[in-house]
Amino acid sequence: MDIVFIKGLKVDTVIGIYDWEREIRQEIVLDIEMSADVSNAATTDNIEQALNYKDVCRRLSEFVKASEFWLVESLAEEICQIIINEFNVNWVRLKLDKGEAITGAEGVGVIIERAKK
């Protein structure tokens, strides 16, 4: 299995359980690994044969910017489902970092893995 990755995709969104969090936008950072067979793209040197990470970034950025989730777990789950269902990926690993949401911590969030059912 080959892996296509996106590291450090920054997107601002409304996320959180506290009233003050519902009134501001916070930056989240996404690290994504996606299963993909890159052999056809490598052989043909044709973007149509590749998992186009630009398209993935564009779709996820639009979705996250428009979303207003309470929990990072819910947002992460929806992101994984978009990747699996819209980009024909069999497996995805996502790290969603909410940044400095906790005093003294460089980052907090979740890491989840999902596979096509």
Q: What are the CA-CA distances from residue 75 to residues 7, 40, 107 (Å)?
A: 17, 32, 16
What pLDDT was estimated at residue 1? 80
pLDDT at 100 over 80: no
pLDDT tens digits, one per residue of 19-72: 999 999 999 999 999 999 999 999 999 999 999 999 999 999 999 999 999 999
- When the pLDDT of each residue in the chain is averaged and rounded to a whole number, the result is 95
Domain boundaries, the chain: 2-115
Could you name the CATH architecture of 2-115?
2-Layer Sandwich (3.30)
pTM of the model: 0.94
Q: Which of 54, 65, 98, 117 is catalytic?
A: 98
- Please give the Cα distance from 5 to 91 (Å, whole number): 12
Of the candidates 9, 106, 107, 110, the one whose C-alpha atom is nearest the C-alpha of residue 53 is: 9
Verify whether residue 98 is a known catalytic residue.
yes
What type of residue sits at position 16? Answer: G
pLDDT given at position 101: 79
